Structure 1
Amino acid sequence: MLDIADELHRWAQQGREFAVATVVATHGSSPREPGAALAVDSEGTAIGSVSGGCVEGAVYELCRQALTDGGSVVERFGYSDEDAFAVGLTCGGTLDILVTPVRGDSPARAVLVSALAAAAQGTAAALARITEGPVELVGRALLVRSGGHPDGHLGGSYEGGFGGHPELDRTVAAEARAMLDSGRTGGLVIGADGSRCGQPLTLLVESSVPAPRMIVFGAVDFASSLARVGKFLGHHVTVCDARPVFATEARFPAADEVVVDWPHRYLESVAADLDGRTVLCVLTHDAKFDVPLLELALRLPVAYVGAMGSRRTHLERNARLREVGVTEIELARLRSPIGLDLGARTPEETALSIGAEIVAARRGGTGVSLTGAHTPIHHDGGSGVVGRIGEVA
């Protein structure tokens, strides 16, 4: 539900009552991932989506019912061979959906509102909710935030709780914080007593983290198009160039920030703030910028490093990088020439090819046409549920 936190936070501030339907697990081919949500307020206004249209009507009615009776429920929707146009997923998969009322008298309202406020304000936080277990626990919630100071036990600080075994809250808080640290949303199976034993409970942990960073080096025309694609894909986009005449906000209105500095010097200054979701795109194709920049970039624990240039430029650049001590293992991380082979010509087409490669790298895609291919459409699908503590699917 944190994917629609901005609007839900406004609803909460206005004192509205609403119900939230959240995808908690998927099986087979399904259009949305765990965490996707649809919400309905007491006036019947709806926001969000759980299936791209397949089951929205039925889920809408479940939300209206939850607002009336005040209870949380988990419902499964799947494909029907008898009638593909019945309520279900014509793509062949199934969705498990948790519907939770957020009324004034809801036990979990306070922690859910806190989670929405954190997500809307861009503060890293993870929300854990019970999706399978004793009926009185389903929908109960616990919230952890980044930077929480451990209190000497497993969980550290947290808000809310499940009202069960005292170890349960602390163990879930610790597991949720570990998932938050890596920005993961997914399932967790844990014993009701907080151990690997006992009656199992299934939970959904939703992580809300600041947008991943995309740093585009080189204030060229391709960078302007790539900044727009980066924003569309949900990145916080920085454009960096050492030339102040080119690195201006007017030329890059889609960028969150435009920095005038030597690329390698800027990258060094922010290196400690980058993480495994960061994307670095080097569009300068000028050795005096590229070599010192890539020498550093290829040694950082980031998700993607790509560099623009012809195949000849790529070979010459690699030779220079080897001369300054870049290893073959480090060079193997470099995506160059940058982007997928789309036959791109214009800056917009080139930016699309780079964005497509970034998505493929993140999701494990092959980049080949799906027509006639025998590869999965959703590479990181599955139930999103772990087998036991610490075993993430």
Structure 2
Amino acid sequence: MNCFQQLAHALDIGPAVLATVTSITGSVPREVGARLVVDANGQAFNTVGGGAGEAKVLRQAQDVLKTGEKQFVEIDLSGAPQRQTQGICGGHMRVWLERWQGEAAKSLVDEILRQLQQGQAVTLVTPLDGANAPYLSEDAVEVDAAIAFVQTLQPPPMLLIVGAGHVGLQLAKVAHLIGFQVVVQDDRPEWANADLYPQASQILAEPIDNAITTLATHQNLYAALVTRGYTYDLEALQHLLQRTIPCQYIGMIGSEKRVRQVYGAIAQTDIPREKLATIYGPIGLDIGALTPEEIAVSIGAELIMVQRGGTGRSLSLNA
């Protein structure tokens, strides 16, 4: 969503170029769908990998800004001898450059942002014929990759922080830093407020059942239970585990004893036992964290692990 917000700002200035990674092979610094925006002043936002490869994209983007001629940029990261390479990662990237301009482009970006901000996925189709403009499709479509680049844009992950105490305060900072929309819930307005949580897009100083109802349709919801007590954990879990759209992640702070107590109480309800297996409790990765700041980093690392499909292992063990 950040990229399209930057594109919206750029279009307020004038024409802008959107660079999109449409295909990759081998080891490369960014994934398919990574994007970069270049505004009418030549200023760039976001990244398609940095280094000489991105420099090549930026040079070509200046031509696209002037001529409007859509084009591919090939980035060679193979490091092969006697070839003009842009890095030594070992792979190749193909990047599509297209100039966006005018009211139609602004309307398209506004609609993309509207749907993403409502927590809904949106499918963007980018024709690669050099003639037709990007458009939205109501359904995911299968198109020849040589004809169009199709990507279903997911809403940004939203982290619901249940409990506005010391850990919640630090976790909001970490979550915002790693790209999560932050929502804070606590029934104490003196704890849950915008002064303490400037990173939060929403402050829900209300009971947990009301808060979860507010977020009922969000498709990419993560929840961190960092409450002040067992009963608050239990109430939050009862509502979170019964969402029509399952949470991507539910983590619960506390000792192993506290976690077992909550599990035992949940087992007495009509919630299927297998749903307990989806809870990360105690929350976070084992890095020896003690302070609220360290615990927040531990939780943030686990959020990234779940979102990106990591293992949590030290990278040095893979060397």
Question: TM range, normalised to the smaller chain?
Answer: 0.7 to 0.9
Q: Which amino acid aligns with 2:70?
A: S
The 8 Å contact of residues 98 and 139 in structure 1, kept in 2 or not, is answered as no
Range moving further from structure 2, 317-326 or 78-87: 78-87
Shift in Å at residue 140 of structure 1? 2.6
After TM superposition, list the pairs within 5 Å mapping 1:122-133 onto structure 2: 122=117, 125-131=122-128
Once residues 19 and 288 of structure 1 are traced to their aligned partners in structure 2, the CA distance between those partners, rounded to angstroms, is 52
Once residues 24 and 3 of structure 1 are traced to their aligned partners in structure 2, the CA distance between those partners, rounded to angstroms, is 19
In the other structure, the counterpart of 2:135 is: 143
In the other structure, the counterpart of 2:225 is: 282
Residue 105 of structure 2 is aligned to residue 112 of structure 1: yes
5+ long unaligned stretches in structure 1:
104-108, 132-136, 145-172, 180-187, 192-199, 375-393
Task: Considering Cα pairs closer than 8 Å and 6+ residues apart, tell me whether 1 or 2 has the greater RCO.
Answer: 1
In the other structure, the counterpart of 2:216 is: 272
Once residues 37 and 255 of structure 2 are traced to their aligned partners in structure 1, the CA distance between those partners, rounded to angstroms, is 49
Helix, strand or coil at the partner of 2:316: coil
Helix, strand or coil at the partner of 2:79: coil
Q: Which amino acid aligns with 2:292?
A: P
The 8 Å contact of residues 77 and 90 in structure 2, kept in 1 or not, is answered as yes
Once residues 237 and 304 of structure 1 are traced to their aligned partners in structure 2, the CA distance between those partners, rounded to angstroms, is 14
Once residues 283 and 250 of structure 1 are traced to their aligned partners in structure 2, the CA distance between those partners, rounded to angstroms, is 19
Residue 88 of structure 2, aligned match among 90, 95, 100: 90
The 8 Å contact of residues 11 and 39 in structure 2, kept in 1 or not, is answered as no
Q: Which amino acid aligns with 2:48?
A: V
Shift in Å at residue 117 of structure 1? 3.2
C-alpha deviations, 1:6-39, integer Å up to 9, x for none? 333233233x234332211222222222332334
Once residues 10 and 262 of structure 2 are traced to their aligned partners in structure 1, the CA distance between those partners, rounded to angstroms, is 53
Once residues 41 and 240 of structure 1 are traced to their aligned partners in structure 2, the CA distance between those partners, rounded to angstroms, is 38
Structure 1 pair 111–36 and aligned structure 2 pair: CA distance change class (3 A): farther
In the other structure, the counterpart of 1:242 is: 187
Structure 1 pair 285–71 and aligned structure 2 pair: CA distance change class (3 A): same
Share of identical aligned residues, percent?
27
The 8 Å contact of residues 78 and 89 in structure 1, kept in 2 or not, is answered as yes
Structure 1 pair 249–49 and aligned structure 2 pair: CA distance change class (3 A): closer
Structure 1 pair 85–278 and aligned structure 2 pair: CA distance change class (3 A): farther
Structure 1 pair 112–26 and aligned structure 2 pair: CA distance change class (3 A): farther
Once residues 198 and 182 of structure 2 are traced to their aligned partners in structure 1, the CA distance between those partners, rounded to angstroms, is 11
Structure 1 pair 45–363 and aligned structure 2 pair: CA distance change class (3 A): closer
Once residues 86 and 3 of structure 1 are traced to their aligned partners in structure 2, the CA distance between those partners, rounded to angstroms, is 33
Shift in Å at residue 312 of structure 1? 1.3
Q: Which amino acid aligns with 1:328?
A: R
Once residues 84 and 312 of structure 1 are traced to their aligned partners in structure 2, the CA distance between those partners, rounded to angstroms, is 63
Q: Which amino acid aligns with 2:36?
A: L
Helix, strand or coil at the partner of 1:88: coil
Once residues 76 and 149 of structure 2 are traced to their aligned partners in structure 1, the CA distance between those partners, rounded to angstroms, is 20
Residue 71 of structure 2 is aligned to residue 73 of structure 1: yes
Once residues 82 and 280 of structure 2 are traced to their aligned partners in structure 1, the CA distance between those partners, rounded to angstroms, is 43
Structure 1 pair 178–371 and aligned structure 2 pair: CA distance change class (3 A): farther
Structure 1 pair 35–93 and aligned structure 2 pair: CA distance change class (3 A): same
Residue 57 of structure 2 is aligned to residue 52 of structure 1: no
Structure 1 pair 127–218 and aligned structure 2 pair: CA distance change class (3 A): same
Residue 178 of structure 1, aligned match among 139, 144, 153: 139
C-alpha deviations, 1:109-139, integer Å up to 9, x for none? 66433323334564765431123xxxxx236
Shift in Å at residue 320 of structure 1? 1.4
Q: CA RMSD in A?
A: 2.8
C-alpha deviations, 1:261-300, integer Å up to 9, x for none? 2324432x3353232x101111115222122221221233
C-alpha deviations, 1:345-390, integer Å up to 9, x for none? 121111111111111112211111111317xxxxxxxxxxxxxxxx
- TM-score, normalised to structure 1, is 0.71
